[in-house]
Structure 1
């Protein structure tokens, strides 16, 4: 009986040691991930004013049949599952894409990003005054695609981050609150500022808080939609109405970016129906 007790104690001790060792290893990986993103941010700041060649993205292999929008939205591209990966996996097959978010304060930019990357990734974000950096890695047709998302604060003190956030970005999301037309009026200023630093990024205009927007009178909805469509046309941007609360068009926007960059055979369907989440291009 005593021997059995001693063996149980010995097994528990070994288990505890393994658990402590695992926690230490995990903390080290967390710190390495943080420092990697921090040094990437510093390096981009150093190069922000440099003149370089535009980034070219390789075409992903096509399959015989084109995927449907529903398949893409559910996380599948041409029959291959799109799954998340950890920040710690590294190999030469990784394709890094930088995405910038611009817009006024309190319009739901950060909520939009957190809805996409998930709470677990949000806890590992690199946060500083006026700028948040979050990552999400997907597997698309055998290639790993890592989105590095740069969320710029919307106040005047954050304007200094616009150059480094927009430099070498593959896409720039210009965001506004559908229930606040002042934030829509500000989009043109954000667009002009961003284009000083990046002429090639895919522009996307996003109206947030669609769930609150549909509670507005129909005539006001029509007026805001008309103004947003006019702005999107002037910016040569695709327009999406979204809601982070109800996950409306959040994933679809990033699927759209991926399809555009890698010439995947999928496009969004236009929707101009009042009372529904608008998609216009």
Structure 2
């Protein structure tokens, strides 16, 4: 390997939207039911290769409960990107996205944000249409929008592949 890069990725969103489940699925390849709610922050790592460059994703999975918000700012220092999640079966998690964007703006530099509608496998319980997610992404000028299923794995790897490309492109542009 010629180089190694470490990217700090924040996973943000309301409690129970699927942040930990997504992280676990991506890091281990397995779906885990009945995951305990994150208290504060949990950190996971995954190593990847990208054009002869070793990439380490540090995934900072933040507890989405309101009571943890006051401790989060000190953990956001040095973040390179945000995965902002909502649950497609829970309209209030979608309605809280603007307050999460405010939090991101107040506590990070200009970093890419990918919007994720989680629990795509529960489409029969959908409360947030796909089009609303895409409209929010456009209005908020976010990098990308995906709906995912950690249960089936739908779009999980794609999210991180796109994120890696965004971060590496940004890194190349900074070095120029």
Query: TM-score w.r.t. structure 2 length?
Result: 0.84
> Given the alignment of the two structures, is residue 233 of structure 1 paired with residue 138 of structure 2, yes or no?
yes
Specify which of 147, 163, 166 is matched with residue 57 of structure 2: 147
Query: Shift in Å at residue 161 of structure 1?
Result: 3.6
Deviations 1:229-271 (A, max 9, x none): 222122211111000000011111111011112239xxxxxxx
The change in CA–CA distance for 1:253 and 1:119 in structure 2 (over 3 A counts) is: closer
Q: Which has the higher strand share?
A: 2
The change in CA–CA distance for 1:117 and 1:230 in structure 2 (over 3 A counts) is: same
Query: Shift in Å at residue 92 of structure 1?
Result: 8.3
Specify which of 123, 127, 137 is matched with residue 47 of structure 2: 137
Specify which of 199, 202, 208 is matched with residue 112 of structure 2: 202
Highest CA radius of gyration, 1 or 2? 1
Mapped partners of 2:20, 2:146: distance in 1: 17
- Larger RCO: Structure 1 or Structure 2 (Cα < 8 Å, ≥ 6 residues apart)? 2
Mapped partners of 2:12, 2:2: distance in 1: 30
CA RMSD in angstroms, aligned pairs only:
2.5
Residue 163 of structure 1 corresponds to 73
The aligned length equals: 164
Deviations 1:174-226 (A, max 9, x none): 1000011010001111111111111311111100000102x24xxx66x6223
Residue 247 of structure 1 corresponds to 153
Superposed, 1:1-281 pairs within 5 Å as 93-118=3-28, 129-213=39-123, 215-216=124-125, 224-237=129-142, 238-263=144-169
Query: TM-score w.r.t. structure 1 length?
Result: 0.54
Query: Shift in Å at residue 119 of structure 1?
Result: 6.7
Secondary structure of the residue that 2:61 maps to in structure 1? strand
Mapped partners of 1:129, 1:109: distance in 2: 12
- Runs of 4+ that moved beyond 3 A: none
Gap runs ≥5 in structure 2:
33-37, 171-176
Secondary structure of the residue that 1:206 maps to in structure 2? strand
Mapped partners of 1:166, 1:224: distance in 2: 30
